[in-house]
Amino acid sequence: MEKNTLFPYAKKIAGMLFIFNIAIISGAYADNPVFPVDSPMKILEKPDPQVLNVWDRYVRQFRRDHNLSFSLGYAKTIWDIKKFGDLGKKKYNSVQQYFVADYTFHILISGKSGYFLGTDSGYIYTRPKAIDDEFRASTSWLLPGVRSGLVYNYDSSGRIFVGGGAQLERFNDLRTHRSTGAWDSVAMTGESFQLFGGIDLFFSLNSAVHVAWSETRTFIQSPKESDGYLVNSTMTKRASGGELGVLYHFL
């Protein structure tokens, strides 16, 4: 039988046609913002129903993995002083504004529900003039701590969450008016515990408005062998407030 010399060329031509067709189809999809192929960020920013259907292809019911948010907050506080210099068994009201950066990693449990683990850190500014002349609160740093909770993704455009956290809060200039007429100050570190809840509303595939409410207790205790020093103090700060910020989900 004579060997068919056209067969090898036919295979090459068919392969070239197949690659050419794939290139044409890919180019057509790339020109259509509803079907992005090289980046999810090509999806239209406006979350209309057609776009939300595309978001579902990437979210797949639950927004997994890495999230980073930056928020500004406002809270009312109550300082419950047990012992601080000449002060004892007194309470003072104040207000505080704060900035916080929050990282969380979200893990699926089932369907649209999951849990998250993460950390946060920030800075708190307390207005000293809002407090009595006997006591002045200090601005403070929120040292990186731990936070965890539960999250429910009701659809690809939003989710609700509840959780708790613990961290150290560093006060650099707590002040009290002594009986001598002079102001004394001290730097102390408190143990802070928080319960929180909120919602993330996505206005694009990756970006959201972050809204949360929190209740925080910070306990400041006397260190060992502090008798006779101002640092021999015991007090609790209770804060209730909300925060508003932006969040980015790394798909």
pLDDT tens-digit readout, 44-67: 455 556 555 677 777 888 998 899
Residue 60 lies in a domain: yes
Residues 54 and 23 in one domain: no
CATH number at residue 201: 2.40.160.20
Phi-psi domain of 228 (left: phi exceeds 0; alpha: psi -120 through 50; beta: other): left
Residue 164 burial (10 A CB sphere; 0-12, 13-18, 19+)? middle
> Measured between alpha carbons, how far is 231 from 236 in angstroms, rounded to an integer?
14
Work out how many domains the chain is built from and give that number: 2
Residues 11 and 68 in one domain: no
Contacts 24+ apart (CB under 8 A), 226-230: 230/84, 230/85, 230/176, 230/184, 230/185, 230/186
Residues 17 and 97 in one domain: no
Residues 12-21 have pLDDT tens digits of 555 554 454 4
Domain that holds residue 235: 49-249
- Nearest CA-CA partner of 84 in 225, 168, 186: 186
Residues 36 and 130 in one domain: no
In this structure, are residues 73 and 98 in contact, taking their beta carbons and an 8 Å threshold? yes
Residue 78 lies in a domain: yes
The yes-or-no verdict on residue 126 having pLDDT over 60 is yes
Residues 155-210 have pLDDT tens digits of 888 999 999 999 999 998 888 877 677 788 888 999 999 999 999 999 988 999 99
Residue 176 lies in a domain: yes
> Measured between alpha carbons, how far is 169 from 218 in angstroms, rounded to an integer?
8
3-state secondary structure 46-108: CCCHHHHHHHHHHHCCCCCEEEEEEEEEEEEEEEEEEEECCECCEEEEEEEEEEEEEEEEEEE
Strands 158-177, 183-202: pairing kind: antiparallel
Residue 2 lies in a domain: no
Across the strands, what pairs with 97? 74, 125
Is the model more confident about 211 or about 84? 211
**What pTM was estimated for this model as a whole?**
0.73
DSSP letter, residue 228: T
Residue 80 burial (10 A CB sphere; 0-12, 13-18, 19+)? middle
Residues 163 and 193 in one domain: yes
- 70's CB contacts (< 8 A; 6+ apart) are 99, 100, 101, 102, 245, 246
Residue 26 lies in a domain: yes
